[in-house]
Homo-oligomer: A and B are copies of this chain.
């Protein structure tokens, strides 16, 4: 709450350069993956020489972390926008797929291969929790006639991740299934594992969504 919109022209310029750096970084990641991101190449594209970027980011890791943060926030925004009217889970699902297809590497920035040592900063974890809250909202209250099952019983006793959300166990189970099943179909599609297989990934995605909604 301390620094909102930049007051001085100095911070204004600074913010703009930071944004431009991230722009180039996003482009690089989209075309060659996050591991190919080069600060030097970005500097060259911007007409300045190497170390100048260290005025704006402490290093490569911080830049990537910032992009991961942006990706999380972007997903959270897309989710909230899709949930705005009446908390329809199908709408959330399509928002998720659209968001993922718009920039696959951004999806992998969030859900891709983790670096063994890396631990996300607290604020990113908080955005992830916000996404989860939106998801829980969409499944609360759950439709009647729910089967239950061992997982639902287990979740009834292990609901730390729901925080103080009033979602009943059935909603927890559905939200979890929504997350894992759609991620399963989506990540394999984005990674190209369906490419030579001949079927339409959208049909699979729709079927997985139905499996979450109808049962």
- Interface residues of chain A, those whose CB is within 8 Å of chain B, are 30-36, 105, 108, 111-117, 125, 128, 149-151, 154-155, 158-161, 173, 176-177, 179-185, 187-188, 190-193, 196-200, 203-204, 206-208, 210-211, 215
Contact = CB atoms under 8 A, between A and B. Distances in A.
A192 B150 contact: no
Given A199-B154, A200-B158, A207-B151, A180 B184 contact: yes
B181 A113 contact: no
A105 B111 contact: no
Contact of A185 (B154, B155, B180): B180
B181 A180 contact: yes
Copy number in the complex reads: 2
B114 A191 contact: yes
Contacts of A114: 33, 108, 190-192
Contacts of A159: 198-199
B116 A207 contact: no
